[in-house]
A and B are shown apart, each in its own frame.
Chain A
Amino acid sequence: MEKKQITLSDKELWIDFISGENDAFKIIYEKYFPELFKYGCYFSDDEDLVKDCIQDLFVNLYHYRLKLKLTDKIRPYLIASFKRNIFNKLRSESKEKKNQINIDSLSFDYTFSEDANEMEDNKIALLQNAMKGLTARQREAIYLKYVTGLNYEELSAVMNLSYQGSRNLISHGMERLRKAISNKALLLLSLLWKAPFLKK
């Protein structure tokens, strides 16, 4: 068998995969592992749980591959299935979450990370703070759109929303982030407030 190149489109990979080619299966796995892993870690701090869910996702995918449909939307399909695995696992592992029946009520702890050369800038702190004030759904949508890189269509598929619904979610969330760094008075105030610590 020829070795499949990584340059195959998702659709071609999928055709090969559901036709039973193990090479294509491995390429899909390697391509999506990093983004699934990172995304999963915002639902739970337990990295082993996240890895288990990725494992289950691919084992199931393999077992059902002959029944899978032709699709060129591998990415939202994988992400949505993976999220469902996480939801089920979280629910089965914790007593308090047993009653959580809605996948849309999962927490999502994404926030901006600080970068070493921006220590003196308090904008990042303001953004982090604003991010905390968003709903988990807004954070997740923003993460999927701007970090994972989904388009609105893919986002709607993962978030179980209409196209307009996912646009609204992004739009409102991003507007709040913008407002956090657009208030000049607040910027100045927090700069003053932060100043004594910086002097140390």
Chain B
Amino acid sequence: MNLIPTNKFQEFIDDQSFIDWVEHPSVESDQYWKQYIADHPAEKEHIHQAKYILKRFQNEKKKPNSNDVRNVWLNIQSKILNPPRKISYITRWSAAATILLLIGIGAGILFFAREQKDTSANYTAMAKMAAAGNEVKLIFSDHSEKQFTAKDPIIKYNQHGDILVDSVTLANELSTHNKSDKELFNQLVVPKGKRSSLTFADGTRLFLNSGSQVIYPVTFNKKLREIYISGEAYLEVSHNAGWPFIVKTDHIEVKVLGTEFNIKSYPDDFNSSVVLVKGSVQAIFKSQKVRMKESELFTFDNATEKTSIGKTNVLEYVSWKDGWMYCTNEKIANIATKLSRYYDVNIQFNDDMVKEMTLTGKLDLKTNCQEILNVISFIAPVDYKLVGRNILLSSKIK
């Protein structure tokens, strides 16, 4: 058996400050080692040997040229860009995310829409009529329903009034209803665990997050485009300065002339918020007006009616649309609320400490819930128990 050599040379070649000095000498380090040699004359030879050998490692003759770096990268790109469909989808939406205006969590902003109050339909009553189910469903003005078993059906109204679901024509309500002067509404209901997207005839596109519903007229009236949302939606409103678009919720209203935004107003959330990603909007609540700038977050506490406004990381609010949850020091309690909607699970804590722990990073919502829990329990001192749709989170710290 060879014994490990123990001598000063061995110490120097393991000493990072010594290695640093050899590789990148500075006035200070030169001074230090000069003094060191003066103080330890017996180690001089080993220092010189170590320095000499370590120095030799620095001139390596093999080097890739920059063409190699580029060419291999191009090869890699061409191999991976025969894209699995999922990947192109993600890329497309990340691009769209640069131009959004986003309206967030829970309840009370009024966007300039007071004068329309009288004419507006009783959305809340209509919303309550829609029974919850397990599938995404479209409710027509005659109360008939159509259910979709897909996890994320894509619904589109074209200019002729045809309703297309995943590119297949489903119905045309205009032909049967256009003689009526009464305003007729459709509803799209998305249960927990599902998502959907909806395109209106004017080109406005809307993505609905889990546990949400949207009520909209069969055709928009000539003065304004108005819809009602409960839950969370991301909208790309087609621009038309003379045809305002209004989104109503139980607590807030947003008036836009053409932009993209995300609105979130769940009945069971404590507050409402708006995040403006691009453009400029005015929020009005309780006869106060708030003009928002890009990347600002406006929140309204549904109970105390307190408000706040300030810069935020917009990605945290819009990434759900791309299948990510983007967290920056986000409390596990908040993450759990989002996960329970997204996956339709019930998350409980047996320890309040866990609720207060915060996470930073991204969670891939395209994987299953258990996968997400694995990641969380890997990076935080948290254990989880999964029984059916019930999850119990507990602390690993005793």
Query: Which A residues have a C-beta under 8 Å from some C-beta of B?
Result: 1, 15-16, 18-20, 22, 26, 29-30, 33-34, 37-38, 41-42, 47, 51, 54-55, 58-59, 62-63, 66, 69-70, 112-113, 115, 123-124, 127, 146-147, 167-168, 170-172, 174-175, 177-178, 181-182
Closest B residue, CB atoms, query A118? B56
Interface pair A146/B57, CB less than 8 Å apart:
yes
Inter-chain CA distance A30–B43, complex, in Å, is 41
Q: How many positions in chain B have a CB within 8 Å of any CB in the partner chain?
A: 47
- Residues on A with C-beta less than 8 A from B61 are 113
Among B68-76, B140-148, B160-168, B336-344, the stretch in contact with A = B68-76
- Residues on B with C-beta less than 8 A from A175 are 5, 9-10
Interface assignment of B45: CB less than 8 Å from any CB of chain A:
yes
Inter-chain CA distance A29–B9, complex, in Å, is 36
Interface pair A58/B90, CB less than 8 Å apart:
no
* Cβ-neighbour of B72 out of A15, A51, A168 (below 8 A): A51
Interface pair B4/A62, CB less than 8 Å apart:
no
Interface pair B69/A33, CB less than 8 Å apart:
yes
Interface pair B364/A22, CB less than 8 Å apart:
no
Interface assignment of B36: CB less than 8 Å from any CB of chain A:
no
Contacts A19-B361, A113-B60, A172-B2 known; list 18 others, CB within 8 Å. Answer: A15-B362, A18-B364, A26-B73, A38-B63, A42-B62, A55-B76, A58-B76, A62-B80, A66-B366, A70-B379, A113-B59, A171-B10, A174-B13, A175-B10, A177-B53, A178-B46, A178-B49, A181-B53
Interface residues of chain A: helix, strand, loop or mixed (majority): helix
- Residues on A with C-beta less than 8 A from B54 are 146
- Residues on A with C-beta less than 8 A from B288 are none
Interface pair A70/B364, CB less than 8 Å apart:
no
Interface assignment of B97: CB less than 8 Å from any CB of chain A:
yes
Interface residues of B in 75-93 (CB under 8 A from A): 75-76, 79-80, 87, 90-91
Minimum Cβ distance to chain A for residue B41 (Å): 17
